[in-house]
Structure 1
Amino acid sequence: MKVTETFRISFKALGDRKVRTSLTILMVIVGSSLMVTLNGIVAGLGQFAMDVFSKLAPNILFITSIPLGGSETEGGDAGGDDGGPPSFLGQGLVSVPAITLDQAVVEKLESLPHVSSVIPSYQGRITVSVENESQSASVLSMQPENLEIIAPALEFVEGSNVSPEDRSAIYLPLSIANKLWGLSEADDGDDNISAAAAAAAKIGRQVEVTYTYIDLATASRQSRSETFTVAGIMEPVGNPTIDRAVVFNLDAGNELLGKSGRYDSLFVAADSTDNVEQVEKEIRNLYGPDIGITTSEAILQTIQEFAAGFGSVISSIALVALLVGSVGIVTTMYTSVTERTREIGVMKAIGARDRNVLALFLAEAAIIGIIGASVGLVVGVLEGYGVLSLFASNLFSSAEVTPRYPLSDLAKVWWISLGLSVAAGLYPAWKASRLSPIVALRRD
């Protein structure tokens, strides 16, 4: 019997049991679409994270006084939101610093070979207020002219004036400026003024910055406030650490945040990307394990490893759903064999061989798998976009993160779905091929 003829007969047999066949195909669609959706979302989020961190200068090393993997105590003034290292260097439980990052450390690092510059910074959480509006934000206190070193893609809106020595100057990210003054992507509608142009009109305005902290001497909540003048507004670069941080110079940060010259982190710029590893070794030779060092490459590698591991777990969960669909195929095919016993007996009586019967039932399983897998791919792709648009809109914009569906991944899901479908139909098909025609014809 020809292959085309086998599939034609099998397709007709499935058509005779439309409801049962449709439900079985639906189970395959659910399993395969779930696998496609989850894999696409994980791949999209992984790519988004990699895109974010790839926008950091590749020759930068991030230095903190918190040794990575050291003993842990609760934060105090060193932890993330209370003035510790930036969000991409870790939050939560932190170690007691073994060394103090001060000007002496900066000068020592600047003397190392292949180090082009060392950029000290203070961090913390502040509240920026203007008129009746206020916004909580992280602060990155550093010399503003050094921003282009750690974020080469950074640009200021037209009209900004970067004044490194002006301690009263503050530089706001566009997102914070928009919220403070209630701006939108198309402010003043009829004129179609962009958010950046509308925000530029706020340059020169004054804002009040408040830093709240716990006074260890009195165990009471204290705050310090200072008025700054908006000297510039920063365009988004695609990195949340920069895009959501308010910037003012070191002197202002040291006084307002009460740092007493103790830096929270240092950005060490190697003279070349090729020398980053050498610079890291030199720093380790100086301070051993008592200092935390992170590079853009290490961050990207960690993201890739996490995405790969998380993707494997998600795929395993989706595979369970596909296996459930396979059980449905076994049930459908086994019931079909039982119901069509006399039909099988007739086929064998007129000359059909065991392999012909086996091929017919395997073809039915394959057809179920082909239809279910093909429709499942389409449904899975659409589900991926739908899920992100519904549940991720408050975290990302649709332009920032989208699901990814490499053809190789879609092909793998399709073949897995088809393979499981055929495997699920193997036993019922074998049982049908082994029926004796005499016994089959006696069955009512």
Structure 2
Amino acid sequence: MNILEIFSFSFEALKERRVRATLTTLMVIMGASLIVALNGTGNGFTNFINSQFSTLGANVLIVSPRGDIHVDKALAEEISRINGVEEVLLFIQQTSSITSKGETQTSIVVGVDQSKLPLLFPTISFQSGTFVSETDNVGIILGNELARSSSGEEPFATLGQTVKVVYQKYVNQQPVVFQRSFIVRGVLNYVGSGIVPIDQMAFISTSAAKSLFDKENFDGLYVITEDPNLDKPVMDRIRDLYGNNLIIISPQVISDMIHQVSSGVYLFIRIVAMVSLLVASVGIITTLQTSVMERIKEIGLLKALGFTNKLVLAIFLCEATIIGILGGGIGVFLGMSLSYMMSWILGRSLHIGTSSSAGELFTIQIIPVFDSWNIISTWILCVALSMISGFYPSWRASRLDPVEALRHE
């Protein structure tokens, strides 16, 4: 018999015991699909987290006040003297309405020294125009998506055009509207989604922001360290000096924490997947062992017809191999589909805030990423485990004495 005939013979034997074979194959499918789905979702989630924090420099700390402390130039100067601090940028930000050509969009307007923006956002560049200087009280730059019209036709605003920024706050429980016209000095290139939604933001000078939003102090400051490895020492030093009066956010630290937590969760579920494969292995042993017991007379007949021990071993081992091939193959494709479902559910259940002032949330979109080697190795693992599990029952079948087997009732 050639290899194709052996596989055909083994497949027919499995079809005769289809219920038992199907249940065993389902256990292999479950383990393989979980491994592939988790790896795809995990890789996609990792890429998403990296993309979210890639807009901000890895050496940037975001500091905001808590309690009675005021963020002003004196505080910025004190923090700038901490060892490891390269630059400190004060900022004001507020959710506002921007009107242009009869169309209104909501945006986060940030007042900051724009000459230092490349230190905060290394990936930003201009589609047209340039940064607004600190002495310019009427200039504004727009994020790429903000500059595009929501209707998708003509641009919302272009270089040199006048736009109106409108902000409302309550004074003595009465709404007070602040508004000012600005000239578009620049439009940024598209950056992409991130924890800081640059494409939907607008930037003005700090002096213009203080005047427009009627604020004496700043909303917070960006602390830029000399090296990402200095983020934690600088954070610790700021906490030593100001205690709980300042909230410090490090995108790099948050990213690392998320990776650690998600890695632990995925490791646990991978263990569950491996246990499922081990259970499937036990199922294969049981299935083949039962098959051997039921087919003792058939084995004796095969040997009487001239089948060698190796050929009988190959026939039963092929049954286990077929279970691994089918279970692993179906499990891989099912796992890829399951990964998209898991990513969609994860994206719908998790939200990320665009800023503390904006109070806005957006649903995250996670796209599974599949490693070809991981998929192949998962399939090979299923086949290998099936063959290993099926070896002992197959070996027992091959060692049966044909005379005794033919006498078996």
Match of 1:124 among 94, 101, 104: 94
Aligned to 1:204: 160
Match of 1:421 among 373, 380, 386: 386
Residue type matched to 2:371 in 1?
Y
Aligned to 1:344: 299
Aligned to 1:230: 184
Residue type matched to 2:188 in 1?
M
Answer whether contact 2:90 2:112 (CA < 8 A) is retained.
yes
Residue type matched to 1:315 in 2?
R
Aligned to 1:301: 256
Provide the rounded CA distance (Å) in 1 between the counterparts of 2:84 and 2:161: 41
Provide the rounded CA distance (Å) in 1 between the counterparts of 2:149 and 2:290: 63
The structure-2 alpha-carbon separation of the partners of 1:108 and 1:47, relative to structure 1 and needing over 3 Å to count, comes to same
Provide the rounded CA distance (Å) in 2 between the counterparts of 1:292 and 1:280: 10
Aligned to 1:247: 203
- Which of 297-306 and 8-17 deviates more? 8-17
Match of 1:311 among 243, 254, 266: 266
Provide the rounded CA distance (Å) in 2 between the counterparts of 1:234 and 1:269: 22
Give the CA deviation at 1:60: 2.2
Deviation track 1:52-77 (CA, whole Å, cap 9, x = no partner) reads 424432332222224xxxxxxxxxxx
Deviation track 1:20-79 (CA, whole Å, cap 9, x = no partner) reads 36886576456424531331132122123224424432332222224xxxxxxxxxxxxx
The structure-2 alpha-carbon separation of the partners of 1:10 and 1:229, relative to structure 1 and needing over 3 Å to count, comes to same
Aligned to 1:165: 135
Give the CA deviation at 1:403: 1.0
Aligned residues with identical type, % of pairs:
32
Give unpaired runs (5+ residues) of structure 2: 349-361
Match of 2:105 among 125, 131, 135: 135
Provide the rounded CA distance (Å) in 1 between the counterparts of 2:142 and 2:295: 75
Provide the rounded CA distance (Å) in 2 between the counterparts of 1:122 and 1:99: 16
Answer whether contact 2:282 2:389 (CA < 8 A) is retained.
yes
Give the CA deviation at 1:108: 1.2
Provide the rounded CA distance (Å) in 1 between the counterparts of 2:168 and 2:389: 64
- Which of 137-146 and 276-285 deviates more? 276-285
The structure-2 alpha-carbon separation of the partners of 1:49 and 1:273, relative to structure 1 and needing over 3 Å to count, comes to closer
Aligned to 2:72: 102
Q: CA RMSD in A?
A: 4.3
The structure-2 alpha-carbon separation of the partners of 1:113 and 1:37, relative to structure 1 and needing over 3 Å to count, comes to closer
Provide the rounded CA distance (Å) in 1 between the counterparts of 2:319 and 2:379: 17
Aligned to 1:94: none
Aligned to 1:58: 58
Residue type matched to 2:9 in 1?
A
The structure-2 alpha-carbon separation of the partners of 1:250 and 1:32, relative to structure 1 and needing over 3 Å to count, comes to same
Give the CA deviation at 1:437: 6.0
The structure-2 alpha-carbon separation of the partners of 1:176 and 1:364, relative to structure 1 and needing over 3 Å to count, comes to same
Deviation track 1:137-184 (CA, whole Å, cap 9, x = no partner) reads 33332122221120122111123453332233222211122244625x
The structure-2 alpha-carbon separation of the partners of 1:310 and 1:338, relative to structure 1 and needing over 3 Å to count, comes to same
Q: Helix, strand or coil for the counterpart of 2:166?
A: strand
TM-score (norm 2): 0.74
Aligned to 1:15: 11
Give unpaired runs (5+ residues) of structure 1: 67-96, 188-197
Provide the rounded CA distance (Å) in 2 between the counterparts of 1:150 and 1:421: 54
Give the CA deviation at 1:296: 4.3
Answer whether contact 2:29 2:330 (CA < 8 A) is retained.
yes
Q: Helix, strand or coil for the counterpart of 2:93?
A: strand
Aligned to 1:75: none
Q: Helix, strand or coil for the counterpart of 2:127?
A: coil
Q: Helix, strand or coil for the counterpart of 2:145?
A: helix
Deviation track 1:303-348 (CA, whole Å, cap 9, x = no partner) reads 3213313433553565577578668756764664465342123356
Match of 1:291 among 246, 250, 254: 246
The structure-2 alpha-carbon separation of the partners of 1:430 and 1:274, relative to structure 1 and needing over 3 Å to count, comes to closer
Deviation track 1:374-423 (CA, whole Å, cap 9, x = no partner) reads 564466557757987999799678xx95614162x335523542355346
Provide the rounded CA distance (Å) in 2 between the counterparts of 1:245 and 1:414: 47
Answer whether contact 1:168 1:252 (CA < 8 A) is retained.
yes
Provide the rounded CA distance (Å) in 2 between the counterparts of 1:327 and 1:206: 73
TM-score (norm 1): 0.69
Asked whether 1:176 is paired with 2:130, we answer: no
- Which of 143-152 and 375-384 deviates more? 375-384
Residue type matched to 2:185 in 1?
A
Answer whether contact 1:127 1:136 (CA < 8 A) is retained.
yes
- Which of 135-144 and 375-384 deviates more? 375-384
Q: Helix, strand or coil for the counterpart of 2:94?
A: strand
Q: Helix, strand or coil for the counterpart of 1:170?
A: strand
Give the CA deviation at 1:280: 3.5
Provide the rounded CA distance (Å) in 1 between the counterparts of 2:103 and 2:273: 46
Provide the rounded CA distance (Å) in 2 between the counterparts of 1:390 and 1:302: 21
Aligned to 1:156: 126
Q: Helix, strand or coil for the counterpart of 1:299?
A: helix
Where does 1:268-279 land on structure 2 (aligned, <5 Å)?
A: 268-273=223-228, 275-279=230-234
The structure-2 alpha-carbon separation of the partners of 1:355 and 1:180, relative to structure 1 and needing over 3 Å to count, comes to closer
The structure-2 alpha-carbon separation of the partners of 1:402 and 1:249, relative to structure 1 and needing over 3 Å to count, comes to farther
Where does 1:42-53 land on structure 2 (aligned, <5 Å)?
A: 42-53=42-53
Q: Helix, strand or coil for the counterpart of 2:243?
A: helix
The structure-2 alpha-carbon separation of the partners of 1:387 and 1:281, relative to structure 1 and needing over 3 Å to count, comes to closer
Residue type matched to 1:41 in 2?
T
The structure-2 alpha-carbon separation of the partners of 1:285 and 1:106, relative to structure 1 and needing over 3 Å to count, comes to same
Residue type matched to 1:414 in 2?
W
Answer whether contact 1:54 1:300 (CA < 8 A) is retained.
no
Where does 1:393-408 land on structure 2 (aligned, <5 Å)?
A: 403-405=369-371, 407=373
